[in-house]
Amino acid sequence: MIKKITKTLALSFLLIGVFACGSDSEGPDTEGPSVDITTPNETDTYKRGTALPLNAKFTDNKELAKCIISISYVTPASSAAQLKGIGTPWTPAENGDTEVINFTEKKEQTVTISMLFGQEIEAACLSGDYKLKFEMTDAEGNATTEEITIKIGG
Return the number of other C-beta atoms located less than 10 Å from residue 141's C-beta. 9
22 vs 54, which has greater pLDDT? Answer: 54
Q: Averaging pLDDT over each range in 6-15, 85-94, 104-113, which range is the top one?
A: 104-113
Residue 18's pLDDT is what? 47
With 70 as the cut, is the pLDDT of residue 147 above it? yes
Residue 54's pLDDT is what? 98
Pairing of strands 64-76, 98-102: antiparallel
The string of pLDDT tens digits covering residues 126-146 is 999 999 999 999 999 999 999
Give the C-alpha distances (Å, rounded to integers) separating 25 from 22, 32, 62, 64: 8, 18, 12, 19
Residue 77's pLDDT is what? 65
Question: Which band of pLDDT confidence, cut at 50, 70 and 90, is reported for residue 85?
Answer: very low
10 vs 52, which has greater pLDDT? Answer: 52
Return the number of other C-beta atoms located less than 10 Å from residue 97's C-beta. 16
With 90 as the cut, is the pLDDT of residue 87 above it? no
Which residues, 6 or more positions from 60, have their beta carbon under 8 angstroms from its beta carbon? 31, 32, 33, 34, 107, 108, 138, 139
With 90 as the cut, is the pLDDT of residue 69 above it? yes
The string of pLDDT tens digits covering residues 13-48 is 554 554 545 444 567 888 999 999 999 999 999 999
Residue 67's pLDDT is what? 97
